[in-house]
Chains A and B, each alone.
Chain A
Amino acid sequence: MRALKGVSFDLEVGEVHALLGENGAGKSTLIKVITGAHRADGGGMEIEGEMISDLTPAKAMELGIACIYQQPALFPDLSVAENIGLRLEKTGIFARVKWAARRRRAADLLERIGAEISTDAEVRTLSMPEQQLVEIACALGAGARIMIMDEPTASLTQKEQHLLFKVVRNLRESGVGVVYISHRLEEIFALADRVTVLRDGESVGTNAVGDLTEAQMIRLMVGREVEAIYPLAEGKPGEMVLSVKGLGCKEGGIQDVSLGVRAGEIVGLAGLVGAGRTELARVLFGITPADEGKIFLNRKEVKIRSPREAISHGVAYVPEDRRKHGVILEMAISANMVMASHGKWFPGGLLNFGAETEAAQKFIRDLGIKASGPDAPGGSLSGGNQQKVSVARWLATEPKLLILDEPTQGVDVGAKGEIHRIIRELSKQGLAVLMISSDLPEVLGMSDRVAVMREGQLADVLDGKDANAHTVMALALGSEEVTG
Chain B
Amino acid sequence: MKIYSRELTVGGALVLLLASLAIFAPNFFEGQPFISRLASQMPALVVAIGVALVIMTRQIDISIGSQLGMCAVIAGTAAGAGMPMGVAILCSLAAGALMGATNGFLVAHLKLPSIVVTLATMVIWQEVLRLWQKGRLLALPDGVQWFGMSQGAGQAAVIGIALVLLVGAAWAMKNISAGRRIYATGSDAEAARLAGINPKAVTFGTFVMMGVLTGLAAVLNLVQSPQIQPNCGDGLELKAIAAAVVGGVAISGGRGTLWGVLLGMMLLANVNPALTYFHQPPYWEKAIQGMVILLAVGADGLRRWSGAKGHVS
- Which of A51-59, A145-153, A338-346 interfaces with chain B? A338-346
A339 and B184 contact, Cβ closer than 8 Å, known pairs A349-B178, A351-B176: yes
Complex contact A307–B175 (CB within 8 A): no
A330 and B187 contact, Cβ closer than 8 Å, known pairs A349-B176, A350-B176: yes
Q: Which size bracket describes the interface of A in this complex?
A: 20 to 34
Which of these, A317, A319, A324, A351, contacts B177 with CB under 8 Å? Answer: A351
Note all chain A residues with C-beta closer than 8 A to B175.
Answer: 350-351
A340 and B187 contact, Cβ closer than 8 Å, known pairs A332-B1, A350-B175, A351-B180: no
Bound state CA distance, A377 and B187, in angstroms? Answer: 13
Which of these, A287, A325, A335, contacts B188 with CB under 8 Å? Answer: A325
Complex contact A307–B191 (CB within 8 A): no
B190 at the interface (CB under 8 A from A): yes
Complex contact A340–B184 (CB within 8 A): no
Note all chain B residues with C-beta closer than 8 A to A252.
Answer: none
Which of these, B1, B174, B187, B191, contacts A326 with CB under 8 Å? Answer: B191
Complex contact B198–A308 (CB within 8 A): yes
Complex contact A335–B255 (CB within 8 A): no
Complex contact A307–B188 (CB within 8 A): no
Complex contact A325–B190 (CB within 8 A): yes
Complex contact A306–B178 (CB within 8 A): no
Bound state CA distance, A331 and B188, in angstroms? Answer: 11
Note all chain A residues with C-beta closer than 8 A to B180.
Answer: 335, 339, 342, 351
B179 to chain A: closest residue by CB: A351
A476 at the interface (CB under 8 A from B): no
A308 to chain B: closest residue by CB: B196
Bound state CA distance, A382 and B85, in angstroms? Answer: 58
B183 at the interface (CB under 8 A from A): yes
B181 to chain A: closest residue by CB: A342
Question: When A and B form their complex, what is the total count of cross-chain residue pairs whose Cβ atoms lie within 8 Å?
Answer: 65
A60 at the interface (CB under 8 A from B): no
Bound state CA distance, A326 and B196, in angstroms? Answer: 12
B193 at the interface (CB under 8 A from A): yes
A133 at the interface (CB under 8 A from B): no
Bound state CA distance, A315 and B194, in angstroms? Answer: 11
Bound state CA distance, A454 and B184, in angstroms? Answer: 35
Complex contact B187–A307 (CB within 8 A): no
B195 at the interface (CB under 8 A from A): yes
B254 at the interface (CB under 8 A from A): yes
Complex contact B177–A339 (CB within 8 A): no
A282 to chain B: closest residue by CB: B194
Bound state CA distance, A342 and B181, in angstroms? Answer: 10
Note all chain A residues with C-beta closer than 8 A to B1.
Answer: 332, 375
CB distance from B266 to the nearest CB of A (A): 26
CB distance from B37 to the nearest CB of A (A): 36
A311 at the interface (CB under 8 A from B): yes
Complex contact B254–A325 (CB within 8 A): no
Complex contact A340–B176 (CB within 8 A): no
Bound state CA distance, A243 and B310, in angstroms? Answer: 51
A338 to chain B: closest residue by CB: B180
Complex contact B187–A328 (CB within 8 A): yes
Bound state CA distance, A349 and B1, in angstroms? Answer: 21
Bound state CA distance, A324 and B193, in angstroms? Answer: 12
Note all chain B residues with C-beta closer than 8 A to A277.
Answer: none
Complex contact B176–A319 (CB within 8 A): no
CB distance from A424 to the nearest CB of B (A): 24
Complex contact A311–B177 (CB within 8 A): no
CB distance from A333 to the nearest CB of B (A): 11
Note all chain B residues with C-beta closer than 8 A to A377.
Answer: 2
Note all chain B residues with C-beta closer than 8 A to A346.
Answer: 177
A393 at the interface (CB under 8 A from B): yes
Note all chain B residues with C-beta closer than 8 A to A325.
Answer: 188, 190-191, 194
Note all chain A residues with C-beta closer than 8 A to B187.
Answer: 328-331
Note all chain B residues with C-beta closer than 8 A to A310.
Answer: 196
List chain B positions with a Cβ less than 8 A from chain A.
1-2, 174-178, 180-181, 183-184, 187-188, 190-198, 254-255
New contact pairs (20) apart from A328-B192, A330-B183, A342-B177, CB-CB < 8 Å: A307-B195, A307-B196, A310-B196, A311-B196, A317-B194, A319-B194, A324-B191, A325-B191, A325-B194, A328-B188, A328-B191, A328-B254, A329-B187, A330-B254, A330-B255, A331-B187, A342-B181, A350-B175, A350-B176, A351-B175
Please, could you name 27 A-B residue pairs with CB atoms under 8 Å apart, sorted by A?
A287-B194, A307-B195, A311-B196, A324-B190, A324-B191, A325-B188, A325-B190, A325-B191, A326-B191, A327-B191, A328-B191, A328-B192, A328-B254, A329-B187, A330-B187, A332-B1, A340-B196, A342-B181, A346-B177, A349-B176, A349-B178, A350-B177, A351-B174, A351-B175, A351-B176, A377-B2, A393-B195
- Closest 4 A/B residue pairs (Cβ): A340-B195, A349-B177, A311-B196, A339-B195
